Structures are given as structure tokens and as C-alpha cells.
Amino acid sequence: FQPKLLAGRKLLITAGPTFEPIDPVRGITNLSSGKMGFAIARAAREAGAEVTLVAGPVHLATPRGVTRIDVQSAQQMFDAVLPLAPAQDLFVATAAVADWRPAQSSAQKIKKDGSGSAPSIAMCENPDILASVAALPAPPFCVGFAAESENLAAHARAKRLRKKVPLLVGNVGPATFGQDHNALLLVDAEGEREIPHNDKQSLARELIADIARRLNAKQ
């Protein structure tokens, strides 16, 4: 009998885009589908973990046995994650969180005034969920993600140090958002290794096996 890799472990994961409202009918979002995060949630559950998935607006079914919390904005994602984080063994941040949001969201739909002028939207920075969890006094093992359009390895290395997380996973892409296949670049303090091109569920299983080894080696 082989005990499951993450039996008795608690894993919290963010997935999907965020939606930052401009007014009641408009907002700023991105092309993240949530597929990679949902695949990791499913793989972690299969590996025996107790999984909580905090999801931005996506069109995906909840993996069996996973507790799901739906949110819209980065601030709502932050508010859902931070109270749960201290009790977790693992935190995996796959969400494509908006870096900025409109500083003010209008209560009424913004109307054209007929003058031909366009409104300007002042933006402010969103809280960094991953960096905030990593800065907790006794943080869970934190895994960050990076989607870059160039220089993936260098950006992933820099991001790992900036967010102060042990493991940063780069989407090798190109244009991984919404796709069913990808390859992953795992960057840690020792160096890098690639999980070669495969469907996202297979990648998720390999990544979970890798993370479980790191976690079990720590104890």
C-alpha cells in the first residue's frame, strides 16, 4: 500500500483572472482561463490533499472533492486567501491577478456626454497576494507562477527572489492562456528544470509530485 503523496496536507490555490470593475457593466480583466490552476487543484486532491480553490471569473467545473470560493476582484481574492493561508501546508498562486485596478469604480454606468471626449481612468496598485502570504510569520510552502512574453528564465528567477518564495514556475508557452497544453520551467534556489510539453492535467500531476517531494523532504 502506497500512501498518497499529499495525504493529510492542506493546499490553497488561486486560479483564473481577476475582474476589476470600472462601472456596473464594465471592467478590466485578462485572458487567463484558469485551466492550469484547476488542473493542479484536481491533481492535489487526487494526491490526497484537502484542497481549497479560490477562483476568479472562469467557465470551469469544480474538480471533485475540492472546496471552491468564487471571487471577482484582486482585493476579493486577497480577502478570501489571507485568513485561510496560515492553516495551509501549501499555497499555489496560479491566478493572473490584475496588477492595477481603477482607483474608483463608478456606481452608475459612465455615459458618453456627446462632446467626443473620452474619460481617463485613474489606476491604483492591487495588493500582492503571493508576496503577502510568503511574508506571513509561518508561511505555507509557497509556489508562484510567471507568464512572460520574453526572457522567461531570467524573469522567473527575479520574480522568485522578489516574492521570496522557494519555487517559481514559468509557463514556457508561447501564448499559454486558454490552451490545453504547455511546458513548465521550475526555478528554485538550486537552479532550473523543465517539465516538457504535455497536456495541462499531466503537467499538474508532475508538478504536484515535485512539490510533494519538496514538502516531504522538509519534514
| Interface contacts to ligand C5P, rule CB under 6 A | 14, 74, 93-95, 97, 99, 126, 128-130, 144-146, 159
Interatomic CA distance for residues 7 and 48, integer angstroms: 4
Question: At its nearest, how many Å lie between ligand C5P and the CB of residue 113?
Answer: 34
Complex with ligand C5P: residue 118 or 124, whichever CB lies closer: 124
**Strands (E) located in the chain:** 10-15, 20-23, 26-28, 50-55, 67-70, 90-93, 100-102, 123-125, 141-147, 167-171, 181-187, 192-199
172: nearest Cα among 142, 193, 143: 193
Q: In 74-168, where does DSSP find H-type helix?
A: 74-84, 129-134, 152-163
The answer to whether the annotation marks 113 as part of a ligand binding site is no
Complex with ligand C5P: residue 48 or 214, whichever CB lies closer: 214
Complex with ligand C5P: residue 20 or 50, whichever CB lies closer: 20
The C-alpha R_g of the chain, in whole angstroms, comes to 18
Question: At its nearest, how many Å lie between ligand C5P and the CB of residue 148?
Answer: 8
Question: At its nearest, how many Å lie between ligand C5P and the CB of residue 90?
Answer: 13
Q: Which of 30, 126, 198, 216 is catalytic?
A: 30
Residue 216 falls in the annotated catalytic set: no
Active-site positions?
30
Residue list, annotated binding site = 99, 109, 127-130, 145, 159, 163
